[in-house]
Amino acid sequence: MAQNQIKWPENKKSTIVLTYDDALPSQLKVAVPDLQRAKLTATFFLTSDIDSNSIASWRMLSKKGFELGNHTVFHPCAGTDDNPVPSDHYTAYQIIREIEVMDRFLYAVDGKTKRTFAYPCAETIVGGKDYVDSLRKYTLVKYARAGGDSTAFITDFSHLDPFRVPSYGLEGGETGAQLIAFVKKVQQSGGLGIIMIHGVGGDYITISAEAQRQLIGYLQTQRNEIWIPTFQQAMDYVNKQIPLKAQKQ
């Protein structure tokens, strides 16, 4: 099914979703104020790095229409020197249990019972085994965001796996021009593009505050053309038009 069979809300021609991972301080300090000034919403995939200093801020953002997604408690990834919690010895049950615990943690923050998920480090494998189908069997999360590069935008919705939704995973250092170029490619396709961001003007896998401002500025000029919802809003909308629940890849 081609992209022309998705009719975006309010006659918009394409959709861009901004997502931010790991509950980083620079997101609250830099990214959020710029988004709020532009009256744009976004999705934040949180870990247990949220704490007594930041939870009130995350709760307030939820009330203002931002989405708080699940990114596990400890963010386990394949073992490397700079990764504090290796996933090498996890089982599918352990990672799903950890997602469940984080779900309860987030319920205490925003009172919501159904949310989306992002795979830590965009990895779907723990302990040498893919756990996507195990996650699919549970009712913990509605949709799961995976990774990808600047070609990873969606036009073929009939084959979109709701538990492997691709995104443009920034590697750090991207310029505003590069980010805008991705958006323009999505616009030309009429499809859905999801951007995975970490640090903004600080922390790690960082883009500059200026790069984000340039991206936001461009999105503002394209409001009549581009729908900019949260991840769950976008996926719910697609799912209403093309049921995704039973699909697998």
Residue 146 has pLDDT above 90, yes or no: yes
Q: Quick check: 194 and 165 in contact, CB under 8 A?
A: yes
Q: What count of other Cβ atoms lies within 10 Å of the Cβ of residue 243?
A: 10
Q: Is 248 exposed, middle or buried (0-12, 13-18, 19+ CB in 10 A)?
A: exposed
Residue 109 has pLDDT above 90, yes or no: yes
Residue 249 has pLDDT above 90, yes or no: no
Task: Return the structure tokens found at 77.
Answer: 């990834």
Q: Quick check: 199 and 173 in contact, CB under 8 A?
A: no
Provide, rounded to the nearest whole percent, the portion of the chain with pLDDT above 70: 95
Residue 1 has pLDDT above 50, yes or no: no
Q: Give 208-238 pLDDT, tens digit per residue.
A: 999 999 999 999 999 999 999 999 999 999 9
SS3 132: helix
- Which letter does DSSP use for residue 31 in this model? I
Helix, strand, coil tally for the chain in percent (to 5)? 40, 20, 45
Average pLDDT rounded to a whole number, residues 9-15: 96
Average pLDDT rounded to a whole number, residues 96-122: 96
- Predicted local distance difference test score (pLDDT) of residue 81: 62
Average pLDDT rounded to a whole number, residues 151-156: 96
Quickly state the pLDDT bin for 10 (edges 50, 70, 90): very high
Q: Give 112-137 pLDDT, tens digit per residue.
A: 998 999 999 999 999 999 999 999 99
- Predicted local distance difference test score (pLDDT) of residue 168: 98
SS3 116: strand
Average pLDDT rounded to a whole number, residues 166-179: 98
pTM: 0.95
- Which letter does DSSP use for residue 86 in this model? B
- Predicted local distance difference test score (pLDDT) of residue 244: 77
Residue 105 has pLDDT above 90, yes or no: yes
Cα 224–Cα 227–Cα 232 angle in degrees, nearest 5 = 165
Q: What count of other Cβ atoms lies within 10 Å of the Cβ of residue 193?
A: 26
Cα 82–Cα 31–Cα 229 angle in degrees, nearest 5 = 105
Q: Quick check: 227 and 12 in contact, CB under 8 A?
A: yes
- Predicted local distance difference test score (pLDDT) of residue 2: 45
Quickly state the pLDDT bin for 83 (edges 50, 70, 90): confident
Average pLDDT rounded to a whole number, residues 24-44: 98
Provide, rounded to the nearest whole percent, the portion of the chain with pLDDT above 90: 90
Q: Quick check: 163 and 199 in contact, CB under 8 A?
A: no
Average pLDDT rounded to a whole number, residues 145-153: 97
Q: Which residues contact 178 (CB under 8 A, 6 or more apart)?
A: 150, 211
Of the candidates 216, 248, 62, 11, the one whose C-alpha atom is nearest the C-alpha of residue 137 is 248
